[in-house]
A and B are shown apart, each in its own frame.
Chain A
Amino acid sequence: MSAESPHTANTPVTDANPAVDGSELIRFDKVTKRFAGNTVLDNLCFSVDSGKHVTLIGPSGSGKTTILRLLMTLVKPDEGTIKVGGDYLTHEERGGKLVPAGEKHIREVRKNIGMVFQQFNLFPNMKVLQNIMEAPVQVLGLSKDEAEARARELLDMVGLADRCDEYPSRLSGGQQQRVAIARALAMRPQVLLLDEVTSALDPELVAGVLDVLRDVARTTDITMLCVTHEMNFARDISDQVLMFDGGKVVESGSPEKIFGDPDHDRTREFLSAVL
């Protein structure tokens, strides 16, 4: 099985876990990304079906963060295309040709994608409630009241209903990260990107954040792309695990398969090092 072929990259999983609605939501097609001559992603092809929870694993420097940042348009691919919900992310079709997309097009496609960062990145000059309301009001055009209702509901879900009038600096890391999750969800994204969201937290705060994410995975149909070192969490929530190395997908399959009986030595080595 060739991991490079977009059609076979996730075949093992589709058999094991029928897709929620079967349609393809994200597709990387021959994506290459270099940083200063260093090829981080090499002709990468993979796709993610709508509603799936996918965990990306792989050694440090294998490009997991880069994949999420490409989806969030924080970096641009050097070659290849990325599609989200059938639309090209950084390209537009004009007169039958693919051209680099304008800011407006990128903005439209990107609205479907939310991200939670390792360092939370809450806006320190805004109170918790305002952090969550900001984008729904400014980007989706919600009224203040609608946005506030939505924000309060989400804060309730992440267990911080009583902290809405605090500034982020007055919250613990774990609380800040839960606010950041609420802020991303307030945009009602189709896709949620999670990049090592518990790595910056003190050990005793990790569980609270992971519980919130388990909740999100269980109660919503948001597609999740998640980079994590929390292998138990990955096992719990994932429909599919992608193992990366050398800028390519080494192996892809259900968590049972990847964690239990991987096909590739590279995966085996990596897992024995982290587990």
Chain B
Amino acid sequence: MNWDWSNVDAFMPRFWDGVLVTLQALAGGAVIAFVLGLIWAIALRSPTRWVRWPVAAFTEFIRNTPLLVQLFFLFYVVPEWGPSMSPLVTGIVGLGLHYSTYTSEVYRAGIEGVPAGQWEAATALSLPKRRTWTAVILPQAVRRVIPALGNYVIVMLKESPQLAAIGALEMLGEARGFSNETFTFEAISIVGLAFIVIAYPASVLLRVLERRLVR
């Protein structure tokens, strides 16, 4: 097999389409995972059992079933009685929802890492619960978990090809389509390279953040 640059040229338009889908899925999924995960983590500390239990059951369930099943469910089952969403939007929601159950564990560890004395000082000053969370606990907890959260962005990048299963053709999906049609290998190689090009600087950035934030 010889490397043929004309195959690369032919693939490029689809490659950029794929990159765009990958980046959209990653950005959207990460935002959802970061926000929902925080909501789960706070809900799991609720004094009310009726908040804690359903959230615990739901997150446990999502975490222990495959992302692929959840994507199929969102794409084929939910539209039967709920909103029907484009493949990309479904993929973003699925990815975000799935990884929110992991980020919630990250936040939980961060929240538990805030010394008890901080809660006690907030109580001694009579700070309202909400203010204690937003001004005292979360700024300290989130700061120390930013690197761990960033790690999940890289995990999400690597899991994003699963979105192809519901027809959201991110870069690997595009490459597979192209290769199957043309019986060539260049597209797959390019995409492999692209994963590294995105993931490596990201992990370097994370290590820098880690050094600066976690002291």
A198–chain B nearest beta-carbon distance, Å: 16
A150-179 at interface with B (beta carbon < 8 Å): none
B143 touches A125 (CB 8 A): yes
Chain B residues within an 8 Å CB radius of A233: none
Give, as a whole number of angstroms, the nearest-CB distance from A207 to chain B: 24
How would residues 110 to 122 of chain A score, 1 for a CB under 8 Å from any chain B CB and 0 otherwise?
A: 1101110101011
Question: A134: which of B115, B123, B127, B139 is its contact (CB, 8 Å)?
Answer: B127
User: Which of B115, B117, B121 counts the most chain A CB atoms within 10 A?
Assistant: B121
Flag the segment in B128-136, B153-161, B192-200 that touches A: B128-136
Q: A123-B136, A138-B131 are in contact. Are A117 and B117 (CB under 8 A)?
A: yes
Please indicate the chain A residues that have their CB under 8 angstroms from the CB of B131 in the complex. Answer: 138
A137–chain B nearest beta-carbon distance, Å: 10
Cβ-defined contact, A139 with B127, below 8 A: yes
Taking a contact as CB atoms under 8 Å apart, the answer to whether B121 and A74 are in contact is: no
Is the beta-carbon distance between A123 and B118 smaller than 8 angstroms?
yes
| In the assembled complex, A135 has its CB within 8 A of some CB on chain B | yes
**How far apart are the CA atoms of A36 and B90 in the complex, in Å?**
51
B117: chain A residues at CB < 8 Å are 117, 119, 121
Rounded to whole Å, the gap between the CB of B188 and the closest CB of chain A is 47
**Which chain B positions have C-beta within 8 A of A184?**
124-125
Interface contact A135-B125, CB-CB below 8 Å: yes
Looking at the assembled complex, report how far the CB atom of B58 sits from the nearest CB atom of chain A, in whole angstroms: 28
Separation of A122 and B125 alpha carbons in the complex (Å): 11
Number of interface residues of A (CB under 8 A): 24
A96-129 interface bits toward B, Cβ cutoff 8 Å, 1 = contact, 0 = none: 0000000000010011011101010111111000
Please tell me if the beta carbons of B123 and A121 are within 8 angstroms of each other in the complex.
Answer: no
- A187 contacts the other chain (Cβ, under 8 Å)? yes
Is the CB–CB distance between B123 and A123 below 8 Å?
A: no
How big is chain B's contact interface, by range?
Answer: 10 to 19
Closest to A114 in B: B124
Pair A134/B140 contact, Cβ less than 8 Å: no
A66: Cβ under 8 A from any B Cβ:
no
B121 touches A125 (CB 8 A): no
- Chain A positions 249-273 with a Cβ under 8 Å from a chain B Cβ: none
Interface residue B126 (Cβ < 8 Å from any Cβ of A): yes
* B80 interface residue (CB < 8 Å to A): no
Contact between A125 and B140 (Cβ–Cβ < 8 Å)? yes
Mark each residue of chain A from 25 to 63: 1 if its CB lies under 8 Å from any CB of chain B, else 0. 000000000000000000000000000000000000000
Known: A123-B118, A125-B143, A138-B131. A73 touches B136 (CB 8 A): no
Residues of B within 8 Å of A222, CB to CB, are none
Q: State whether A187 touches B120 (Cβ < 8 A).
A: no
Of A74, A123, A139, which is within 8 A of B126 by CB?
A: A139
* Bound-state Cα–Cα, A244 to B63, Å: 52
Q: Give bound CA distance, A40 to B120, whole Å.
A: 20
A183–B124 CA distance with the chains assembled, in angstroms: 10
Chain B minimum-CB-distance residue to A117: B117
Contact B139 A125 (CB under 8 A): yes
- Assess A110 versus B121: contact at CB under 8 Å? Given A125-B139, A138-B131: no
Measured between beta carbons, the chain B residues less than 8 angstroms from A107 are 126
Are B126 and A121 in touch, CB under 8 angstroms?
Answer: no
A116 (CB) vs chain B CBs: closest residue: B124
B33-84, CB < 8 A from A: none
A72 at the interface (CB under 8 A from B): yes
B124 close to A115 (CB less than 8 A): yes
Give Cα A111–Cα B118 distance, bound, in whole angstroms. 18
Residues of the A chain whose Cβ atoms lie less than 8 Å from the Cβ of B143: 125
In contact, B140 and A183 (Cβ under 8 angstroms): no
Residues of B within 8 A of A119 (CB): 115, 117
Contact A117 B126 (CB under 8 A): no
In the complex, are the beta carbons of B140 and A121 less than 8 A apart?
no
- Across the interface, which residues of B come within 8 angstroms of A110, CB to CB? 123, 126
A74 close to B120 (CB less than 8 A): yes
Task: Output the nearest chain B residue to A111 by Cβ-Cβ distance.
Answer: B126
Residue picked from A122, A123, A134, most chain B C-beta under 10 Å: A123
Can you list 12 pairs linking A and B with CB atoms under 8 Å apart?
Answer: A74-B120, A74-B123, A111-B126, A114-B124, A114-B125, A115-B124, A117-B120, A121-B118, A123-B136, A124-B140, A125-B136, A125-B143
